[in-house]
Structure 1
Amino acid sequence: MKRLMAFDYGTKRIGIAVTDPLQIIASALTTVHPEEIWDFLTKYMLTEAIETFVVGKPLQMDGTDSESAMHILGFTRKLKKLYPEIPVVEIDERFTSKMASSVIAQSGKKKGKRQDKGLVDQVSATIILQSYMETGSFMR
């Protein structure tokens, strides 16, 4: 089976999470700089098949796009252009960074590790992916 891949897109870092091939477990994969994402995906997809890309979409409290949504739009457009055979799904990512920080703190990590923004982005991507999986919108 193919994996699901999720992105917590930021202008400084992109947190990436994937499922196992059976699409049961969402796990943090890595964090990459936005300039390196396309090379990373090319190399990753040489060995792993992706069924769906899930992109966290930053929304305001009232459900409208946030200021950073324009960056997500450019990213999702390029994903669709480079990988037209792979669906791109956007889901609400409000509060994922706060949730990620909380999960990291509860895990017992030392303060320095809890403040590692790359780790927060990876865990945020994992939360985005897990949220998508819980919606049942994808069917294996």
Structure 2
Amino acid sequence: MSAFFYVIPILIMAVALSGAYLMVRRWLRMRSAFRSGLTAEGRCLRVYAVAHGGGDSRVRTSLRHVYEFRARDGRSIRFEEEGGPGTVLEGDIVTVRYAEGPHVVATARPGSGGHGCAAFVVTAFAGTVVLVCLIVMIAFAAVA
């Protein structure tokens, strides 16, 4: 029974820290695309909606766009992005910001401010969850 008060908080901390890691990694990738200064003219190849939920829960949909552009070195790069603007339709020309490398990081989103704020909020929340779990573990160790 005492293992319950150690294993469960450790699992909760692992999930919170992995979520924070993924969010910060995504923010750093998008920041590198914006800070590289490289832009290209891209074309929206496809727009489709993905539905999440259903049944007894609320249904949430999000738009996904598939873009293609030609990088500075001549490679044709195709990437998919979630949550783009609803005003971009198939065949539209967009400005793509990207960072070169073996794995090209690209985005066609117009702004970069939201990623940093979201990464901060998720990291702060994960830190709070870890702190609460540690307090629970220490309190149980003191009582036991």
TM-score of the two chains, using structure 1 as the length reference:
0.24
Larger Rg: 2
Name the structure where strand makes up a greater proportion of residues: 2
TM-score of the two chains, using structure 2 as the length reference:
0.23
